[in-house]
């Protein structure tokens, strides 16, 4: 798969499905980093009064991490795992994006311990950071019994 990835190919990389997708394209992936963009419509479930909600910003960060993992698993021919937000720390935001504005989100993996990724996430609008946080994401381990069969 060649970057950028969007549409059906992007949906195939993440466990979330419409209407709860909060990324439009996977733009960059490196060993410890990924960048996505997102443009949303007024009908999105995490849009309220024409603005993306705080929960939407957090989920956008988590889905950026999921897209990175899905992309890497796809390259290796592995099953794409399901991840869960285990902890959010130091979340802050200065504004909520409005319908039609494009946000760009970057995650950096700061630590990886077994099935837990510790990331920092940053959301930018027109190059200005509007939200950031630290997040722990737990990845569902592969079914051990399937390997024994």
Q: In degrees, to the nearest 5, what angle opens at C-alpha 90 toward C-alphas 84 and 94?
A: 110
What pTM does this model have?
0.93
Of the pLDDT bands very low, low, confident and very high (cuts 50, 70, 90), residue 114 is: very high
User: Over 50: is that where the pLDDT of 90 sits?
Assistant: yes
Please give the DSSP secondary-structure letter assigned to residue 134: E
Q: In what order do the strands lie in the sheet with 25-29?
A: 5-6, 25-29, 33-38, 103-113, 116-125, 128-139, 83-93
Average pLDDT, stretch 58-65? Answer: 98
Higher-confidence position of 140 and 70: 70
Under DSSP, the state recorded for 81 is P
Q: Write out pLDDT tens, residues 4-59.
A: 999 999 999 999 999 999 999 999 999 999 999 999 999 999 999 999 999 999 99
Count the neighbouring beta carbons within 10 Å of the beta carbon of residue 122. 17
With cut-offs at 50, 70 and 90, classify the pLDDT of residue 145.
very low
Q: How far apart are CA 21 and CA 75, in angstroms?
A: 22
- For domain 5-143, give its CATH number from 3.30.450.40, 3.40.50.720, 3.40.190.10, 3.10.129.10: 3.10.129.10
């Amino acid at each position: 798969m060649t970057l950028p990835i969007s549409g059906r190919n992007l949906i195939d990389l993440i466990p979330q499905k419409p209407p709860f997708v909060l990324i439009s394209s996977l733009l960059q992936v490196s060993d410890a980093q990924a960048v996505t963009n997102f443009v949303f419509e007024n009908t999105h479930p995490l849009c309220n009064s024409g603005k993306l909600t705080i929960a939407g910003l957090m989920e956008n960060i988590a889905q950026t991490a999921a897209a990175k993992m899905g992309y890497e698993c796809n390259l290796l021919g592995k099953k794409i795992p399901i991840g869960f937000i285990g902890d959010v720390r130091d979340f802050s935001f200065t504004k909520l994006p409005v319908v039609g504005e494009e946000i760009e989100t970057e995650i950096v993996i700061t630590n990886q311990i077994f099935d837990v990724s510790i990331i920092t996430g940053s959301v930018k609008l027109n190059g200005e950071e509007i939200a950031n946080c630290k997040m722990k994401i737990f990845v569902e381990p592969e079914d051990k019994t399937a390997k024994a069969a």
